[in-house]
Structure 1
Amino acid sequence: MKITDVSAQLLKPTEFEFQWKDQLPPRRVGMILLRIRDDEGHEGQCITWLAGPGQFEDMLPRVRDTLVGQDPHDIERFSYQLTDNLTAPNAVSSGVDIALWDLVGKIHEQPVYKLLGAARDRVRAYASTVRYDTVPEYVDLALQCRDEGFTAYKLHAFGVPDKDIEVCRAVREAVGDTMDLMLDPVNAYDRQGAFKVGKVLEELDFYWYEAPIEDADIQGLTDLTRYFSIPITAVESVGGGLKFVPPYLVNHAVDSVRSVGDWTGGITAMRKTAALCEAFGVKFEPHSYGSTLIQAAHFHVMLAIHNCDLVELPVPTGVLDQGMKDTLRVTADGYVDAPTKPGLGYEIDEDEIDNLTVRRLTVGDASSVVGH
């Protein structure tokens, strides 16, 4: 069994414009579909949104040289080769790792989480918002999400302490004790602002307080974690992945570690980070905001570990599901059930992908780009 081909397709950007705090401009999100094929007719896939076409074009010759002719099961070896021994992960190498796990799952006709060693078959979901212009919009969406089945709701608000306090109070008043609430200001506050907001979130009984200050501010995070009973969480991708997690753990700088697996090394790296966090008694709550297949990659890791509470789903529901037949959806009782199909378990819609494709980059000749 050998890998025979690697290819990528640039897809049209989303119609929806995404913004997660005042300090970030709205933007449409472009995606790239990566395909890895073997000589027995199986294909592993990943739709990534963190790498641009230029980065893919630059890396695809190296990816092809690494993979083609090799056994697809050798994921750990490929992981080291494509991330320079885990010191330099990026969106392309992470997408390759995810597509390889999808491929191996399809070869063995098993969902990825079963190959990782299943811990459970469902995880409670939370709705993860974009930034809105007004407080009532956050309230209305929270109530809509509750009607859909969500029992937890995370605000990406304004990134301004007083404005964020206002919206958090309004949402808590609207939902009462029927939903767990979280706030992610996306590293927008200084330390003073972070403490100001944290005191209110504790009063409002929020479930966690995410990325209040810069992720690199280990001392500031440590001070927040020791001061508040509300769990503090940060994103380990600031430094590049697994090797940058230990400072958070040995300093007890956070109560849980977030991970952008589609940047920090894919499923392989997330599984290692989860184990490292577990050894320190810290939660590992993978960030799963992205395309359906990115959500799925994070979800499979969650299904294979114990130290994770929630799976993140972007809302409005379906906003990042372009090109898919199957999607992750919240159940009436607030969970996402494990997929039963092999690999990542969510099938792309080839006709829709065809319509979304802007151009194809096929790595028979790694620099060959043709219009669609």
Structure 2
Amino acid sequence: MTEGFLSSEEYDEQAHRLYDVGDYDGALEMLKEGLALYPNAVELCVGLGYARLAREEFAWARRAFERAMVLDPAHEDAMVGMGEALLRLGHRIEALRLFHRVEQMGFDDDIELMLTMGRALYRDGLYTQARDVFGRAVAARPDSAEAVASLGYALHRLGDDVGSGRQVRRALRIDPDLHEARIYLGHLLYDRGDWEGSLREFERVPPVEHWDALAVWRILELKRALWHMESGDARLAPWEDRLRALEELDDPIDRLLAEIESEVAEKDGLALDPSQLELFSGRAEGGREHRVRSPDGHVYRGSWSAIVRQMRDAAGFGHEPLSAFMRRMAERWHEQSGVDVPFRDPEVFLRAAVEYRLMFLEDGPD
């Protein structure tokens, strides 16, 4: 329990601080403690909803936002949060209505709310609607580098590479240290075949600020190709170190599989169901590296999870958990090709994609 007696505002402030540093569990406990004392504090209900969203507990998030909207039906943050929860639960029409209502209430010049709505739409694959929201945000706040860059990302997803590049460059003129936008520009230039320009943009972001493994891998690839560097060159060391660090980051799916494997190992003589062996096959490889090529020629290297992470980042969904990205891709492939790709495990996901010739495995024979 928290020392002393805090007001509902103090509970909200402390929860915000925990949320901002990524301690969603701590924020959740702080909000629940506050609500036990102040059950009618609408801000605590809203905070609880966003903490639930961050933990991907979408049904619980919806309940928290519903509670907030009972207390204050016109609370804009609650309405936006409810819209995002509804999107995650597949209720697009209701979500769009809520977002539209928020704008009609006069919050179309609130840059944070507009960005939150636009990003929620973008994550759900509603790129046209996201573009429109980001466009209105830019009209209201043309000095917001994040809004301008977000408009560029949405344009790219809609196939407007020229417009996308223009907006991303504009964002970087406003804020040269907007690293996410610079890395995105590097990918745009790489896909266009401008290798020198791509490398230049990637390198303007310090290694420690790179969180996109694909971008770091491309830096190494371009340095070797353009500057004829070999492995072991001291100039490659910072980037090789960063790539290793990114690939070793703890992943929720890897952690879950490790826990399952540990539990199974503790039960001597337990006969595994053959249908469950796929859960453990990837971890029995001893860290083997794989090569998977997409239909457009991009090659991804690393463990199964690392490959899916690279695919996710290249697609512009670096903010999503792997499970959400795999589900998104499985749904897209089903719509495009009519095939059902399992999306619960990276190895099973990729092997199914290879079987259906949606991706191509270049490992050679097992």
After TM superposition, the score normalised by the length of structure 2 is 0.27
Structure with more helix by fraction = 2
Larger radius of gyration: 2
Higher relative contact order (CA 8 A, sep 6+): 1
Structure with more strand by fraction = 1
